[in-house]
Each structure stands twice: as structure tokens, then as C-alpha cells.
Amino acid sequence: MRNLLYSVSALGMFGAGIGIAMAGVESVPTPQALWQEIQVLQKNQAIMPESSPFQAGSRTVDAFTIDLANAAAVQSISQAGGIIHVSRYKNDSLLVKENFNKNRKPTGVTAMLKLAGYDAADRNWVMAAYKPDGTMVSFGKIGSCIACHTMVQKQDFVFAPPPQQLLSIRTWKAFFPKQEMNPAYVSLLKEHPEAVVK
């Protein structure tokens, strides 16, 4: 499985002093160090289980997405029997969403890294967003990301890829009021009404 190409030695970098020390928290990587970890997943094409390359994104600006996962996240998903069954991801799990426009040109990257003791109220996820070249857009406890991901709190804040789980049009518009919905995503909503997250 390509997901398992992500090496354990790369995971060990998080504890190697490259991060920001916080009391009672595992070493938090710098945004640049996390970007390096993301690049390892990209290089190894570590596609997240239940995901597929260039699946429909919900926004027209991100018409396609690719979900990536490191070994710890893959193990969590495998042991639980699927994304919707994971109640807690293993520490050091890294989940990445690559976003692309309608021409499949990269538009950005978002990521979630699980770190013990980081933010217990929000399941200890470090959230991050980058431009395609790795320039940091936001990093840490990102309220807008957390607000959306709490919709799948029972799944440890991780959405299953479409069409397995979808946001309703009403909910989607509440989070992206100035954006346009991807017509392909709207079609998925019509085809899979049972997949709408309640």
C-alpha cells in the first residue's frame, strides 16, 4: 500500500527538537518543519484510505482534492475499520488535503497533525494551511477549521472523503459565504442525500 511508504523515521522528526516547546505538550513543529513532512507524503503519493486522487472538492476554487495520510493515520483508520469508525487518531497522525482548481493546478494545502497535549478541547489537532509553494497561510488553533470539523466530533474531527460524507448546501454556505459551490459536489449531494453530515 502506497500509504505505508511514509517512513517511521520521518515521523520521529517531530520529537527531534525542530519544533516549538510548549509546557506539557509534545514538541510542536514549526510551520516549515510540518511543510517538510507534508512534502514527504506528497512525494510518496500517500493517498488516504477511502480517498481517491482528484476527487470532487466542494468549492469551485478547489474543484479537485487529494487526501494524504501518514502511517499513524493509516493505522488508525485500518484498526477502526474505516474513517467513520475512528474515535481517536494515534498521536502523530498527519492528514493532508491538497486542493486544485478545475485545470488541476494546485491552489493550496491544508493539514491536521495530532499532538498529545496540544489542545485537548479540540482533540489535540494542530491545523495548518499553506499556499502551493509552502508559504504558511495559518497555523495552530484555527477557529474556522475547528468550527467545521466539530461536525464530525465522533470521528475525531476527520471527515470521510466524498461521497461518503458531504456538507449540506446550507451548512456549506455558512462556512463559505463568499465562495461558489463546485457543480460536481452539488451533483454528489443530489446522488447521495444519505451522506449529508447531520
Letter for the amino acid at 191? E
CB 60: neighbour CB atoms within 10 A? 15
Q: What is the pLDDT of residue 26?
A: 61
Query: CA angle, 108 as apex, 20 and 91 as ends, to 5°?
Result: 40
Point out the residues of the chain with pLDDT beneath 70.
1-26
Q: Measuring CA to CA, which residue among 40, 35, 49 is closest to residue 3? A: 49
CA distances, 153 to each of 55, 60, 137 (Å):
23, 26, 25
pLDDT score for 15: 33
pLDDT for res 25: 57
Grid cell at residue 55: 476527487
Per-residue pLDDT tens for 61-108?
A: 999 999 999 999 999 999 999 999 999 999 999 999 999 999 999 999
The pLDDT of residue 170: 95
Going along the chain from its start, the domains and CATH numbers come out as 2-160 (3.50.70)
Beta bridge partners of 47: 68
- With DSSP H G I counted as helix, E B as strand and the rest as coil, what are the percentages for the chain, rounded to 5? 35, 25, 40
Distance between CA atoms of residues 118 and 81, nearest Å: 26
The three-state secondary structure class of 187 is: helix
Residue 52's region, left for phi above 0, alpha for psi from -120 to 50, else beta, is beta
Position 69 scores a pLDDT of: 98
pTM of the prediction? 0.86
**pLDDT for the residue numbered 196:** 97
pLDDT at 173 (0 to 100): 95
CA distance 63 to 56: 6
What cell does 5 get?
511508504
- Grid cell, residue 176, equals 463559505
Q: Return the pLDDT at 27.
A: 85
Residue at grid coordinates 443530489: 190
Whether residue 15 contacts residue 72, with contact meaning beta carbons closer than 8 Å, is answered with: no
What DSSP character marks residue 152?
A: G
